[in-house]
Structure 1
């Protein structure tokens, strides 16, 4: 019986995630993600993520399920809710994986903005408003990583 496994942890993705959020907290396993979500990330980290992955405030608001106006009203050091923090972490983790799979963040961002046949001709970015969309994109990245194309 194994105690706490690192699950699908990849140090490259982890470093990317921390770089995207501009935070310096070790994330060794999923329990660390849970704790960071519970403690909340601040607006400053959220805005750094948005800038790094080229999201505008409207796109970001859709993903984390907050209104643009609410985000605008937050002080830079104010922590987001557990749910919004978890969504932001999911987004950073996805982009970390995408950067690894595509070999370059710009190439992945480009892929996210163009319709994909394997995703019913939707832009991958359009699927980020639900947990199921994140799952679908992670599965597609795994297929690409392993050379399995639809």
Structure 2
């Protein structure tokens, strides 16, 4: 069996990410992500993601900068804002990448819950409230993927 090309990896990560959101649409490039963010992720997809990655409404509210009450009031088909939708996509993409690198979603979820030396002894999950936190976690996953541990 041949090596997986970067484009194939992009496709594999997206399939995992879309499975977490229970969405069945093709995402071929970043423009598709932009359009999906602009169109909005609905509450139903958000709740599916939360169940898959073991997040509660309070944790999601902190990441999305929404109140718990606002999320609770949303109808299942109500779309999140562009900003909140982009964060949801980042979160799903991060967990799909983590599952791929760790080989198991539960192993990755465990990694997200434990303080990490490379992250100033913060739990990776604590860094999800900013774009910079997502960037830092993605960089750390790349290091892990390449066998570079802090």
Task: Tell me the TM-score normalized by structure 1.
Answer: 0.94
Structure 1 CA distance, aligned partners of 2:48 and 2:95?
13
1:95 aligns to what?
Answer: 95
Contact 1:53–1:95 (CA<8 Å) still a contact in 2? yes
- Quote the offset at 1:64 in angstroms: 1.2
Structure 2 CA distance, aligned partners of 1:64 and 1:37?
13
Structure 1 CA distance, aligned partners of 2:148 and 2:79?
40
2:141 aligns to what?
Answer: 141
1:3 aligns to what?
Answer: none
2:28 aligns to what?
Answer: 28
Structure 2 CA distance, aligned partners of 1:9 and 1:87?
21
Contact 1:127–1:134 (CA<8 Å) still a contact in 2? yes
- Quote the offset at 1:55 in angstroms: 0.2
Q: For each residue in 1:40-82, what CA deviation from the matched residue of structure 2 results, as whole angstroms up to 9, or x when unmatched?
A: 0100000000000000000011111111100000000000000
| Unaligned runs of at least 5 residues, structure 1 | 1-5
Contact 1:7–1:30 (CA<8 Å) still a contact in 2? no
1:49 aligns to what?
Answer: 49
Q: Which runs of 4+ in 1 moved over 2 A?
A: 6-9
1:122 aligns to what?
Answer: 122
Count of aligned positions: 145
In structure 2, relative to structure 1, the CA distance for the partners of 1:7 and 1:129 (3 Å cut) is: farther
SS at match of 1:96: helix
Structure 2 CA distance, aligned partners of 1:142 and 1:84?
25
CA RMSD of aligned residues (A): 1.4
Task: Tell me the TM-score normalized by structure 2.
Answer: 0.94
